[in-house]
A and B are shown apart, each in its own frame.
Chain A
Amino acid sequence: MGRLHYIFILSLSVLLATAQEELFDLLDEESGSTQYTYATFKGTKLLNGQTNETPGQGVLQYIISHRFGSFTDEYLYNFFGLDNAHIRMQLDYGFSDRLNVGMGRSSVLKTSDAFVKYRALRQKTGATFFPFSVTLYSSLNYRGARFTDGIDHNTTDRLSYHHQAIFARKFNESLSLILAPSIVHWNLVPGPEDPNDTYHLLIGGRYKLSKRIALTSEYAFSSNRRYGSGATEERFHNPISVGVDIETGGHVFQFHLSNTRAMSDPLWMAQNPYSAANGSLFLGFNISRVFTVNQ
Chain B
Amino acid sequence: MKKLLLSTLLISSTLLSAQQYLTREARLDFDAGSPLEDIVAFTESGSAVYDESTGKIGVQVLMTSFQFKRALMQEHFNENYVESEKFPKASFKGSYSEGFVAGELTIHGVTKEISVPARLDQEEGNYVLITSFDITLADYDVKIPSAVANKISKTASIQVQATLKRFSK
Footprint of B on A, CB under 8 Å?
1, 4, 7-8, 11-12, 15-16, 19-20, 23-24, 26-28, 31-33, 35-36, 38-39, 55-57, 59, 94, 97, 172-173, 211-212, 248-250, 290, 292, 295
Contact = CB atoms under 8 A, between A and B. Distances in A.
A4 B1 CA distance: 9
Interface string B12-37: 11001100101010000000000000
A36 B2 CA distance: 54
Interface in B41-75: 45, 47-49, 51, 54, 56, 58-60, 62, 64-65, 69-72, 74-75
Contacts of B91: 27
Given A26-B49, A211-B80, A56 B72 contact: yes
B62 A33 contact: yes
B79 A39 contact: yes
Given A28-B60, A31-B45, A292-B70, A173 B1 contact: no
B24 to A, nearest CB: 5
B148 interface: yes
A23 B70 contact: no
A38 B16 contact: no
Contacts of A212: 80
A295 B70 contact: yes
Contacts of B45: 31, 33
A19 B16 contact: yes
B156 to A, nearest CB: 19
B93 A11 contact: no
A172 B85 contact: yes
Contact of A56 (B9, B47, B58, B71): B71
A55 B71 contact: yes
Contact of B60 (A27, A94, A248): A27
A205 B130 CA distance: 46
B12 A39 contact: no
B75 A38 contact: yes
Best-surrounded residue of B16, B60, B91 (most CB of chain A within 10 A)? B16
B17 A39 contact: no
B86 A4 contact: no
Contacts, number: 98
Nearest to B71: A56
A20 B56 contact: yes
A59 B60 CA distance: 31
B8 A15 contact: no
B150 to A, nearest CB: 13
Contact of A31 (B47, B72, B147): B47
B144 to A, nearest CB: 12
Contacts of A290: 72
B78 interface: yes
Closest 8 CB pairs of A and B: A56-B71, A27-B60, A173-B85, A31-B24, A295-B69, A19-B16, A292-B70, A26-B49
B84 to A, nearest CB: 8
B9 A12 contact: yes
Nearest to A33: B45
Contacts of A7: 5
A55 B45 CA distance: 25
Given A4-B1, A35-B64, A59 B47 contact: no
Contacts of B17: 19
Contacts of B1: 1, 4
5 contacts: A7-B5, A15-B13, A23-B51, A27-B49, A295-B69
Nearest to A174: B85
Nearest to A15: B13
B69 A11 contact: no
